Structure formats: C-alpha cells, structure tokens
C-alpha cells in the first residue's frame, strides 16, 4: 500500500524524467521488489530508501539500464527503456550519469584522465577539448587544480567528488547516486549532500539517490519511495520529512525515526 502526501519542491511536467509502472525486480524466481509505481519529476532529489538488503540498488539498476525488470516498465521521458531497441536504449541512457558506491574511479588514471576516458567513449571531442572539459567538471565539484592527482592521493570525500565530476562529463539530465556517503566521515558526507543540492540548483538536474542515511535523506530529499523488505513492495511515496511526521504506516514512521516506535 502506498500513500501520496503533498510534494514540496517538485514541478509537474508532461513528460517526467522517470516513471516506474507496475515494476517487479527479481533474480530468477527470487522476487526482490514487486508492484512498484512512482514518478520522479524534473528537479526532484528523489530518494530510494529502505532497510539493508530490501532491493534499493536492484531497483536503481532497472532505471540505469543495468538490469531488466521481470515485469512492468521504466519510462524515461515517456519512452520505455526496456522496450526500446539496444541503440535507442543507449541513446536514452546518455541522459543519465551514475555515481556508483565507493566511486569506482580507475586507480591507474589521474582524475582528469578518468573523466577524459568517459568523454572519449561518449563524445567526439578532440583530446585538448576533453582535457578542458575534464578541468571544468573538476572545478564544478570543488576540485580545481587536482586534475593530475591519482585517486589514491586524495581523500575519500574528494574521490567521491571526482566520481561526481566524471558522472557529469556528458552533461546528464538525470544524476544517480548509489549510497553516496557510504564509508565517508560525517563532515565529508555533509559536504557531499551540499554538493548534490548545489548541482541540482546550478545544473537544473534531476537527482536520484539510493540511501538509508537518515541525515542525508532529510537534508536533500524532496520526494521518495520507501521499499519494505517485509512486504517486498513500496510502502510509501512522498517528501521524507512529511512521511516521518505524518505517515499512516507505522513501519514508515519507524524507519524514518531511527527504528523508534512512534504513536499512531
């Protein structure tokens, strides 16, 4: 069962960046999540949340073209991602940038080279322009001057920023993060939250974040879906702060109140 409270910062458009319709995700006969229905509007910071192992990352994989749903649809700007031909699917996915858990930078390449490699793969830019764009993207995440550093030479928080710069390389309309603050100290986590909000403002991007970090959820989230490991489906959608304080569902309130039981 799902509830739909008022949404704060979203704006409606004819073709929302992402619509998930009646989606089921499974590994063989093992159903991870079923009957998922939610809409991600332009300008949202949309949180996919739920307890450990409930299927957050698996759901994100369906949205970024990595794992086909066993039922249902993912519409990217009204085009069905998994019904499209391979070439059309790749075109749709060009609109998406992904920051994986722990960043996933190539350790043998400098920060600049990491970004240049992405540009080489997805654009026709000549090498000098690739360098210039890489520097620009690094500046955008507060890493100007670090282009020649290797990932091992910078802190975990900076590595995560560099991964964001790489995801920004192709000017994505939608930016995905899987557990952006995993393994970071609280200050680096908060800085990353600020960066996410800055990017939303400056680029007008739509942002999708998989996380169970409550501090982050309440700071950056404008809308969300809550996945339950028990019912194996969504138990709420809406603004996280609103859900924390107003949800009719005790499991939702409990999750959003650090596991404390709250009065109905």
Ligand X SMILES: Nc1ncnc2c1ncn2[C@@H]1O[C@H](COP(=O)(O)OP(=O)(O)OP(=O)(O)O)[C@@H](O)[C@H]1O
**CB of 158 vs ligand X, minimal distance in Å:** 23
Count of residues binding Mg ion (CB under 5 A)?
2
Helix (H, G, I), strand (E, B) or coil at 135: helix
Q: What is the DSSP string of 48-93?
A: EE-STTSSHHHHHHHHTTSS--SEEEEEETTEETTTS-HHHHHHHH
Say which entry of Mg ion, ligand X, none residue 54 contacts (CB below 5 to 8 A, set by partner kind).
Answer: ligand X
Residues 186-225, one symbol each (x = binds ligand X by CB under 6 A, - = not), give --------------------------x-------------
Name which of 52 and 152 has its Cβ closer to ligand X.
52
CB 76 within 8 A of CB 92: yes
Name which of 58 and 110 has its Cβ closer to ligand X.
58
**CB of 104 vs ligand X, minimal distance in Å:** 15
Among 9, 13, 22, 27, binds ligand X (CB under 6 A): 27
CB 176 within 8 A of CB 112: no
Residue 57 binds to Mg ion (criterion: CB under 5 A): yes
Phi, psi of 21 (to 5 degrees): -120, 120
Say which entry of Mg ion, ligand X, none residue 244 contacts (CB below 5 to 8 A, set by partner kind).
Answer: none
Phi-psi region of 206 (alpha: psi -120 to 50; beta: other; left: phi over 0): beta
């Amino acid at each position: 069962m799902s509830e739909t409270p008022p949404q704060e910062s979203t704006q409606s458009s004819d073709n929302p960046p992402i619509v998930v319709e009646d989606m089921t995700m499974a590994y063989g006969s093992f159903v991870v999540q079923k009957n998922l229905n939610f809409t991600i509007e332009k300008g949202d910071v949309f949180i996919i949340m739920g307890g450990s192992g409930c299927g957050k990352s698996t759901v994100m994989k369906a949205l970024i073209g990595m794992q086909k749903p066993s039922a249902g649809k993912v519409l990217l700007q009204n085009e069905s991602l998994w019904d499209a031909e391979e070439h059309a699917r790749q075109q749709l996915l060009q609109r998406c940038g992904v920051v994986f858990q722990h960043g996933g930078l190539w350790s043998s390449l400098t920060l600049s080279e990491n970004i240049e490699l992405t540009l080489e793969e997805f654009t026709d830019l000549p090498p000098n322009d690739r360098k210039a764009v890489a520097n620009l993207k690094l500046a955008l995440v507060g890493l100007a001057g670090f282009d020649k550093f290797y990932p091992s030479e910078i802190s975990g928080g900076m590595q995560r920023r560099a991964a964001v710069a790489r995801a920004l390389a192709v000017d994505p309309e939608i930016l995905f993060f899987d557990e952006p603050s995993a393994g970071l100290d609280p200050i680096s986590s908060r800085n990353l939250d600020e960066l996410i909000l800055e990017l939303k403002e400056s680029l007008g991007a739509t942002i999708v974040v998989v996380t169970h970090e409550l501090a982050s959820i309440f700071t950056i989230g404008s809308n969300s879906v809550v996945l339950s490991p028990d019912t194996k489906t969504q138990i709420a959608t809406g603004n996280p702060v609103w859900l924390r304080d107003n949800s009719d569902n005790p499991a939702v309130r409990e999750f959003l109140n650090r596991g404390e039981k709250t009065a109905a």
